[in-house]
């Protein structure tokens, strides 16, 4: 019995010394955002909802959408903001659309937020599933949402 207790205590001590601060048990599902740094999950949020405008034609004849990023944080200490990325050119697909931009500046309350410039912004609407990825202030961000 003493050996068992000693082994259990040793296992508990090793588990308590674990210095891995990766968030526990994240499973990306509908309306979630995951943030990575150097391919390591550093932050996630289940309380996010993004939506988009109806496609429209801009003055140059390009079909675009506006992406509305509601209650969004790219890092844990960032306040949750309702931001908009206007004028994203899209390419229609049989199930929705795709987009791919080198960079885009989001807006908050009508003002540009260059500090939070989005790089390598990619996304796809496939039926009711919206997937969006980009880099921002040194982090890689993935959004998954369902309508």
Q: What confidence tens digit (pLDDT) does each residue in 24-74 have?
A: 555 666 788 999 999 999 988 888 889 999 999 999 999 999 999 998 887
Task: List % helix, strand, coil for the chain (3-state, nearest 5).
Answer: 10, 55, 35
Structural domain count, the chain: 1
* Residue 35 vs residues 18, 76, 90, 123, 141: alpha-carbon distances, Å: 22, 9, 24, 16, 5
Look at residue 133 and tell me if it is in a domain: yes
Look at residue 30 and tell me if it is in a domain: yes
Q: What confidence tens digit (pLDDT) does each residue in 107-144 have?
A: 999 999 999 999 999 999 999 999 999 999 889 999 99
Structural domain harbouring 48 = 23-146
Q: What confidence tens digit (pLDDT) does each residue in 87-99 have?
A: 999 999 999 999 9
The residue among 20 and 69 whose pLDDT is bigger is 69
């Amino acid at each position: 019995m003493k050996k068992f207790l000693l082994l259990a205590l040793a296992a508990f001590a090793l588990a308590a010394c674990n210095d891995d601060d990766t968030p526990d048990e994240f499973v990306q599902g509908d309306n979630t955002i995951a943030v990575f740094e150097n391919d390591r999950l550093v932050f996630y949020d289940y309380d996010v909802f993004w939506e988009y405008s109806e496609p429209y034609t801009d003055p140059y004849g390009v079909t675009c959408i506006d992406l509305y990023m509601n209650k969004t944080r790219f890092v844990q200490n960032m306040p949750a903001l309702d931001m908009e990325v206007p004028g994203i050119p899209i390419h229609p697909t049989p199930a929705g659309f795709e987009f791919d931009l080198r960079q885009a500046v989001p807006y908050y309350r009508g003002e540009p937020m260059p500090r939070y410039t989005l790089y390598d912004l990619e996304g796809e609407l496939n039926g009711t599933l919206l997937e969006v990825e980009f880099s921002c202030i040194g982090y890689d961000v993935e959004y998954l949402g369902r309508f």
